Every structure is written in structure tokens, then in C-alpha cells.
A and B are shown apart, each in its own frame.
Chain A
Amino acid sequence: ETGVTQTPRHLVMGMTNKKSLKCEQHLGHNAMYWYKQSAKKPLELMFVYSLEERVENNSVPSRFSPECPNSSHLFLHLHTLQPEDSALYLCASSQGAGGLSEQYFGPGTRLTVT
């Protein structure tokens, strides 16, 4: 595997379900990010992890819970979502800590909440 991978690629879940999105980066980066891309809004930054510590949470509802167990893996745990949470969720990574660099994006998870 190369670059940034995400699983699953598609997910349909009911409002009472609990599911998790997984992201893995194979680039040796030390910062990882979750974004939400919905049809009616620009790409929104949700969470930033640098050296496995959360450094930014852009007022995201608590029904989204991130986890970063190591610098290569990032999860987004989902529970009691709403239909308006249906969107494309993109993971990205960069060599963030200690220097600024471009972000590399994964293919995304298309989430539908029914």
C-alpha cells in the first residue's frame, strides 16, 4: 500500500448505529487530519493530530470521536449520527510537526446516514 488509504470506501448506517472509519498513511508523516466534504459546503477541517496528540477540534459535534493510536493510523468513531452528517469524509496526512508541508489525501469514505 502506498500513500493514504481509507476503509471502508462506502458506508451506509442508521442513526442508532455505531461505526468507525479507518485511515492509514504510509508516508512517514507525523500529522493526520479528518475533513468533511458535503455537497453544499466547502471542505471542512474536523480534527488535527500532530505527533499523535489532538491539536485542533473545529467545534465538531461529540457524535464524532477521533482516535490516533500511532502516527500511521487515525480513526473516526461515529455514533447516533444525523442525516445531515451524510458526506464524503477525507483523511489526510502531512509532515506537519516541525515544519509545514502539503497534505496528502486519502480516497475518502462516502457515508450515508439513513
Chain B
Amino acid sequence: ELKVEQNPLFLSMQEGKNYTIYCNYSTTSDRLYWYRQDPGKSLESLFVLLSNGAVKQEGRLMASLDTKARLSTLHITAAVHDLSATYFCAVDMGNNAGNMLTFGGGTRLMVKP
């Protein structure tokens, strides 16, 4: 059974600081997704990582994937309040019929002014 673990589960940080969220998973996969969820809202896709060594950046967020270590990271650079949300990673064990996502427990990020 695939297990996906995120840490930390909760992160409080000051604006302007850097931090990294970690996503470890238990079974080989080379497809991993990062999502953002604001309170009371649905999930918004942030990054799609489809190969070992994949790195993607959007604004202050950068995601990477190491399939050998079964690890993905989401790095936050110079955090701002607008980044406050819950971040989820999800590992895909699907096939051509569709995605089979297993989600991590989420990291609730709070950025303080």
C-alpha cells in the first residue's frame, strides 16, 4: 500500500523567510503533483512533476522530484502572507485509464507579517 507523508504538518513562518516542505512516499513512482487549498476552497494545481530530477518554479515556489529517494520538496522563497494555505503533494500510480492519486496529509502554512 502506497503511503505519502508530508512534513511538517503545520508551519508558521515570518514574511521574507525561506522554508521547505517535504513529501516522502513509499512506492516507486515518477509522477507527483503539488496542490494548494485555501480555507473553504477546492484544490488548485501548482506543479506537475513527471520525471526524476524534475524542477519547476512559479513565483516564490519551487518544486523538485527525486524518484530514487522517493522524495519531493516544495521550497518557499521570501514568503509573503498570500502564500498562507494548505499544501498537498499527491503521488500518481495511475495508468492510461486515469490518474490514481494518493495524497499526503497536507502542510498548513501560515505566513505572519
Chain B binds chain A: yes
Q: Which residues of A contact B (CB under 8 A)?
A: 31, 33, 42-45, 48-50, 55-56, 90, 92, 94, 96-108
Chain B contacts for A107, CB-based, 8 A: 41-42
Interface range on chain B (Cβ under 8 Å from partner)? 20 to 34
Sample of 8 further A-B pairs with CB below 8 A, known A48-B97, A105-B42:
A42-B104, A43-B88, A44-B103, A49-B98, A96-B94, A96-B99, A97-B98, A101-B99
Q: How far is the CB of B59 from chain A (nearest CB, A)?
A: 18
Q: Which residues of B contact A (CB under 8 A)?
A: 4, 31, 33, 35, 41-45, 48, 50, 88, 90, 92, 94, 96-106
A101–B33 Cα distance when bound, in Å, is: 10
Q: How far is the CB of B97 from chain A (nearest CB, A)?
A: 4
Q: How far is the CB of A47 from chain B (nearest CB, A)?
A: 11
